[in-house]
Structure 1
Amino acid sequence: MAPILQSSQPWVEKYRPKQVKDVAHQDEVVRVLTNTLETANCPHMLFYGPPGTGKTTTALAIAHQLFGPELYKSRVLELNASDDRGINVVRTKIKDFAAVAVGSGQRQGVYPCPPYKIIILDEADSMTEDAQNALRRTMETYSKVTRFFFICNYISRIIEPLASRCAKFRFKPLSEDIMGSRILHICKEEGLNLDAEALSTLSTISQGDLRRAITYLQEVVGALLAACKSGNFDLANKEVNNAIAEGYPVSQMLSQLFEVVVEADDISDEQKARICKRLGEADKCLVDGADEYLQLLDVASNTMRALCNMPQEFSYET
């Protein structure tokens, strides 16, 4: 088995499937898209489902299989709609890219290179309604030369005029068996020997999100490697297994606390509202990079104040 080496490349990208047929656990989606790729005549597409189930991977794989490495940069525009979600982006960046026609399709080796471009909008459910309405008009005008791939978690947040113009593909949460096999493959490639307990814990923490599981695994290995270099202890597979089996991230603790609070019969609705409000604020702070220990302390103190009907105090955001 290869030695454990620290890599600067995120494992999520390193082990991302390069072809549609390699996407895990989405058999119906893979079957339909494989047939579509044979004709290279793709419609507008809408991929929706829980995070970490292969939506973005599938969209990128389609684009790579259609255009190959040479034409990919000139034919594909990738945007994260949660950042670029205003109407001005639709009117400028998206419209300018969509309006430019491309030459007639000419196959290059194994790549069909069809005569259209692709715009991939990740997290499209974060776009404003005005931006989505403007995008509808852009789709109508330039449909002959541009295809749109929308990626979202909640299809209900996509306006009907956009959704009705797309072929819809639902991505299912990954089962523990599928996630386990993928994680074990990565461990084999990286020289890790993950035991059954650690693998089960990793699956529980990730809740069907393979991206989260891979990221957490790499975080644990990276932290242990850093500690090893500082002379704290010798790195071994046993340390990796222990760290995963025992080290629940704060986000998982908050998720478990939320379930306990919501299901509790001896807590008033007002108290639940105060606690859940703080849980949501803490989750947002963690996404923004706040300190996990301070967030956990703040949630705990605000929960105690809510249960004792004490007034709410300030929140830690750093």
Structure 2
Amino acid sequence: MKILLVDDVQMERMQLAIRLKQLGHVVEMAESGPDALALYPEFQPDLVLLDITMPEMDGFEVSSKIRELYPEWIPIIFLSGHDAPEIIANAIESGGDDYLIKPVDKLVLRAKLTAMQRIAFMRNQLNKKTADLARVNQELEKLASEDGLTKVNNRRNVDKKLKEMISVYGRHGVPMSVILLDVDFFKLYNDNYGHIEGDQCLIQIAATLKELFARNGEVVGRYGGEEFVIILGHSDAYQAELHAQRVKEAILAQAISHEHSKVANVVTVSQGVVTIQPSGRETPDQFYHMADRALYQAKHSGRNCYALYEPSMEQQDIQE
């Protein structure tokens, strides 16, 4: 074990440290309470052997401070030449776990350390299991929020983030934008290249979008099928249009072959862009509806382009 030995009497401190090292333990020594508290976080002991009678801070104060500052439980054994019941009781009340009478008997010391070593082992095992459980929970949380194929946010998580951002930006009176994009003629891509290549195409597009929009306040997710959604915080219509142009150019630069497309010989996307300054009461579906109307317009304008949402698009849709 790593043992922090705290005793202001040098001779007693050195003699006990020698015994502990002979038993195979790693020992760090402190001659006062403040020294012990300074060493504690760096050394991270498995056990503290703590003298009671010391200048500046006595052992009771040191023990109480350790329990206050470091919530992870580490056993503390008090060392004292006094065996009065009230002193032992005070030691336990101040955070101690056991009590050894000076001079410490070799056999008793070995027995106490054996017991503490079992506790240290169990504590380390518990910490390991806790860390493993935290990793598993983190992985489960990631799986619950991530699209399995493209590794961007899934629809459920995008909806959650969009709802949160509507509330925040509505409260602060700041505009935000949503881009809904669709891979042009993706059915023809799948029909001619196969679904495995189709999956690779979506993975590549998702990776491109993640690289483009990695800043705080930017969210990329898979809306469904070959559709992706981008949420842009602090984005007015002008900025949203610039982002849509960036998406168009980046996808074209990937040069993913699509000989069966009706607009280009590489994969392209159509985009619907909506920008509003939310009140905070809007729903994600309202944003999606407006972005979808704009996407509809982009497709009918020849694809491989973007369209900005306008209220008149609602009426045009009805007339058609």
Tell me, yes or no, whether TM beats 0.5: no
The two structures have a TM-score, normalised by structure 2, of 0.22
Looking at secondary structure, tell me which structure has more strand per residue: 2
Q: Which has the larger radius of gyration?
A: 2
Higher RCO, 1 vs 2 (CA within 8 Å, ≥6 residues apart)? 1
